[in-house]
Amino acid sequence: MSSNPDPLRIDAATGADVSLILTLIRELADYERMADQVVATEADIRCALFGERPCAEAAIARAGAEAVGFALFFQSFSTFVGRPGLYLEDLYVRPAHRGRGIGRRLLAHLARIAVERDCGRFEWSVLDWNELAIASYRRAGAVPMDEWTVYRLTGEPLRALAAEATAP
């Protein structure tokens, strides 16, 4: 009986993975046709994931020593459920490794974390055109929240609204 020389494993990211994570973020952005929107630096990623007040976590999928994908996630909260949730910000599998169940394994890994942390929800967003991802998510039992629309403030509109707040 032969064994797979490069079994897949999923590890929690460490500070040594910062450069790799940023590379994977850039690859994902390129795939999503948003490469021009990546302004994050290694210092930003290090601070967000491993700084004094980490606000996100990452898991790295590896086949042997090779990083083949990642998931970046953070805790959210549901006032209606009264419990924390897990929000998947990014999931990416490198093209040469797609179709092998790695994305599903990353999702399952995060689902396990959500259950272990007693989360009431595990949520994420997907681009409307990403039909392969949508089909995969549906196969996992995820349902679209079609009645919800995501809103976002960035840049000057964010600063303008913040300026309306009165100082304490």
**List of domains in the chain:** 8-163 (3.40.630.30)
Lowest average pLDDT, out of 54-58, 79-83, 150-154, goes to: 150-154
Which amino acid belongs to residue 157?
P
Judge whether 74 and 56 are in contact, CB under 8 Å: yes
- Taking phi first (over 0 means left), then psi (-120 to 50 degrees means alpha), and beta for anything else, what does residue 104 get? alpha
Contacts of residue 10, defined as CB under 8 A and 6 or more positions apart, other chains included, come to 59, 60, 61, 62, 105, 106, 109
Provide the whole-model pTM. Answer: 0.90
Active site residues: 137
Q: Tell me the pLDDT tens digit for each residue of 43-55.
A: 999 999 999 999 9
Residue 166: per-residue pLDDT: 75
What rounded mean pLDDT belongs to the chain? Answer: 94
